[in-house]
Structure 1
Amino acid sequence: MKPTIEKITPQLKTIFSHLHEHPEISWNEHDTTSYIRQLFKNYDCKITTLDDSPGLVIEIGQGSPVVAMRADIDALSQEVNGEFQANHSCGHDAHMTIAIGSLLTLLEDGYPDIGTFRFIFQPAEEKGTGALSLVDKGIVDDVDYLYGMHLRPIEELGHNQFAPAIRHGAACFIDGVIQGEDAHGARPHLNTNAIHVGAELIQHLKNIDINPMIPHSVKMTAFQAGGDSKNIIPGNATFSVDLRAQTNAVMDELMINVKRITAMLADYHNISIELKIGANIAASVINQEATSIMEDAIKDSVGVDKLQPMITTTGGDDFHFYTIKKPHLKATMLAIGCDLQPGLHHPNMTFNHAIIPEAVEILTNALVKTAERSHQDEQ
């Protein structure tokens, strides 16, 4: 396996560069999908694109078990050097490259005839809706084991270190609308200033008290009110709120508080405040068997000295919807330490690209080990 990975490493560098330089935001990853499809069109594998969205599934082998790897393919929309644009600041370009490298390794090396290996290139992880869409399409109905991956920031995992699981927290993204009436700037008594309502909302959100022993946070991430006229007091506004919690129970508490606060403000000011849940990502469900296999893959590929315990992070990932919606699935995510700085979602995020071949080896090993163990258990 190592010689094959060494041989394809220059190709992986080219693939990463292309993906990094051509980011596409959630549900718009059409060129990304086409690029990945073109990479494998001349190989003996089954390629399935999705009818109504970007994303694709590539499969080799046959029969059971069905062992899958998922890579997210979308970029973020964020301000970079003064301009809003698509940007791969969450490492999905690396995730795709690693999954592509694993599939190429199996194809070039000759994979064992002991099951099906499925590679899922999933859209819209950043929206929190991509995994649910693929669940609804039946993509994982027959999957027995599922592996994912994520680059980790330097404060969570040192360079060239790997953990066999990531305990993600829950995340919820809320869009809100404040509806009132505009008024003349000289007559503030004739309306309720939507900006003042937003300021009150921020203070109330910051004062939510929940068990401090369980990590959680509430913060407003967008607010828009008013137009070009400086002498109009805006009565309407839109806003966004980001909720995080390490457990699903605490997330439920946060949601109850947010709804209670907005209802109170709406009643007090005699206005309307409407909330819409954009995504509600549950906290992780980690399978011990899958985690154990990943541990062995790390030790066999890069050595026991690079193995770290499962990490806990306040970030979320819609990967965990696969196991929540399909409880039969045994899944875990590989945590990849890669000198990632200054942090995930930073517009100028960087990491050490030398980690990609090592991650390819670990995940490919995990796929093969899983199929071999399952095959032995059946005999």
Structure 2
Amino acid sequence: MNEFLQSLQPKLAEIFSHLHEHAEISWQEQQTTQYIASLLREANMEPQMFDDMTGLYVDIGKGTPKVGFRTDIDALWQEVDGVFKANHSCGHDGHMTMAIGTALLLKDMEPALSGAVRILFQPAEEKAEGARALVDKGVIDDLNYLFGVHVRPLKELQDGTYTPALYHGAAKLFTGTIIGEEAHGARPELGINAIEVGAAIVEGLQKIWTDPNVSASAKMTQFNAGGTSANIIPGKATFSIDARAQTNEVMHVLTAGIERVKASVEAMYNAKIELQVDAHIVAALVNDEAMEHMRAAIIDVVGDVACVPPVVTPGGEDFHFYTYEKPHLKATMLGLGCGVSPGLHHPKMTFNKERLITGVAIITRAILRTL
């Protein structure tokens, strides 16, 4: 494995550069899908694409795949040097590179595999919709194990260290509309001020009680009201709420609290508040057996010293929806310590790309151990 793996390094560097330079946002990853499919076909694999969405998967080995590996393929839309563009500031270009490297490595050793492996290239992770779409397609129904990977910031993992599990938190993104009543600034008693209603929502969010032993927060992150005239009391506003919790149970409590705040503020101001959930990311459900396979793989490849304990992180990850929907699935994510700086989602995010080849080795070893 090592000799072929080392021979892959120049090709993987080229693949990473292409993916980084041709980033595409969620549900628009057409070129990315076609590029990955062409690479797999060149290696005598048979990628399977979907008629109605981006993304693809490929099976390696004989029989029905029972072990899988998933990567995300979309980028963020953000301002970089004054220009808005699709930008891989969450490391998905690196994740795809590792998935492709793993597929090429497994294909090279295919005659010796004791079972089949499915590599999933999932769209729309950043919108927290891609995992649900693949579940609906039935492509994980036969899997017993599923692995993933995510590059980690220096705050969580030092460069050159690796963890067998990432305990992401749950997240919900709400959007809302406040419908009050406009009035002249001199006659506030005739109106229902949407800004004051919004302020009451902010105050209410701060009073939601959850278990103090579990990290959780709910805060308003966007608010838009009023026009260009300062003497009009605005009757309408739009807003967003970002809710986070380290466990799914506390997220349920937090959600119920947000609904109570909505109802009480509506009653207090006689306003109408429309509220909906735009995205729901579930907290990690890590399987001990899968984590042990990953831990052993890390030690096999880089030794005990570079293998560090699981990381608890407040960030969210669409990967965990697979185990949320399919409780039988044994899953974990490799945390790749590669010096991510200044941090994930920063427009100028960079990391040590030399760690990608190590990631391929660890992921492949974990898959082989599981088979």
**Do these two structures clear the TM 0.5 threshold for a shared fold by scoring above it?**
yes
**Counterpart of 2:318 in 1: which secondary structure?**
coil
Q: Displacement of 1:195 after TM fit?
A: 2.4
Match of 1:70 in 2: 70
Structure 2 CA distance, aligned partners of 1:342 and 1:203?
Answer: 32
Q: Displacement of 1:192 after TM fit?
A: 2.2
Structure 2 CA distance, aligned partners of 1:323 and 1:295?
Answer: 19
Structure 1 CA distance, aligned partners of 2:309 and 2:292?
Answer: 11
Whether 2:267 is the aligned partner of 1:267: answer yes
Match of 1:377 in 2: none
1:293-344 CA-partner distances (Å, limit 9, x unpaired): 1111111111121101111111121211111211221111101111112221
Task: In structure 2, give the amino acid aligned to 1:103.
Answer: A
1:118-267 matches, cutoff 5 A: 118-267=118-267
Q: Structure 1 length as normaliser, TM-score?
A: 0.93
Match of 1:24 in 2: 24
Structure 1: which 4+ aligned runs deviate by more than 6 Å? none
Match of 2:2 in 1: 2
Determine if contact 1:23/1:86 at 8 Å carries over to the other structure: yes
Q: Displacement of 1:79 after TM fit?
A: 3.0
Match of 1:48 in 2: 48
**Counterpart of 1:100 in 2: which secondary structure?**
helix
1:339-377 CA-partner distances (Å, limit 9, x unpaired): 112221222222111111000110011111211xxxxxx
1:211-257 CA-partner distances (Å, limit 9, x unpaired): 22211111222222234555543211211111111111211111111
Match of 2:87 in 1: 87
Q: Displacement of 1:29 after TM fit?
A: 1.4
Whether 2:287 is the aligned partner of 1:287: answer yes
Task: In structure 1, give the amino acid aligned to 2:38.
Answer: Q
Whether 2:359 is the aligned partner of 1:356: answer no
Q: Displacement of 1:277 after TM fit?
A: 0.9
When residues 147 and 48 of structure 1 are mapped into structure 2, their CA distance, relative to the original with a 3 A threshold, is: same
Determine if contact 2:65/2:118 at 8 Å carries over to the other structure: no
- Which has the higher mean CA deviation after the structures are superposed, 203-212 or 290-299? 203-212
The Cα RMSD (Å) is: 1.7
Identity over aligned pairs, percent: 51
Structure 1 CA distance, aligned partners of 2:81 and 2:256?
Answer: 38
Structure 1 CA distance, aligned partners of 2:197 and 2:111?
Answer: 61
Whether 2:15 is the aligned partner of 1:15: answer yes
**Counterpart of 1:276 in 2: which secondary structure?**
strand
**Counterpart of 1:353 in 2: which secondary structure?**
coil
Task: In structure 1, give the amino acid aligned to 2:216.
Answer: H
Match of 2:100 in 1: 100
Q: Structure 2 length as normaliser, TM-score?
A: 0.95
Whether 2:328 is the aligned partner of 1:328: answer yes
Q: Displacement of 1:278 after TM fit?
A: 1.3
**Counterpart of 1:305 in 2: which secondary structure?**
coil
Structure 2 CA distance, aligned partners of 1:276 and 1:67?
Answer: 36
- Which has the higher mean CA deviation after the structures are superposed, 192-201 or 121-130? 192-201
Task: In structure 1, give the amino acid aligned to 2:273.
Answer: I
Task: In structure 2, give the amino acid aligned to 1:28.
Answer: Q
Structure 1 unpaired stretches of 5+: 372-379
Structure 2 CA distance, aligned partners of 1:183 and 1:115?
Answer: 70
Structure 2 CA distance, aligned partners of 1:230 and 1:85?
Answer: 34
Structure 2 unpaired stretches of 5+: none
Structure 2 CA distance, aligned partners of 1:207 and 1:83?
Answer: 39
Q: Displacement of 1:86 after TM fit?
A: 2.1
Q: Displacement of 1:200 after TM fit?
A: 2.6
Structure 2 CA distance, aligned partners of 1:326 and 1:201?
Answer: 36
Determine if contact 2:174/2:277 at 8 Å carries over to the other structure: yes
Q: Displacement of 1:197 after TM fit?
A: 2.2
Q: Displacement of 1:13 after TM fit?
A: 1.3
Task: In structure 1, give the amino acid aligned to 2:68.
Answer: A
Match of 1:376 in 2: none
**Counterpart of 1:259 in 2: which secondary structure?**
helix
Structure 2 CA distance, aligned partners of 1:348 and 1:325?
Answer: 35
How many residue pairs match? The answer is 371
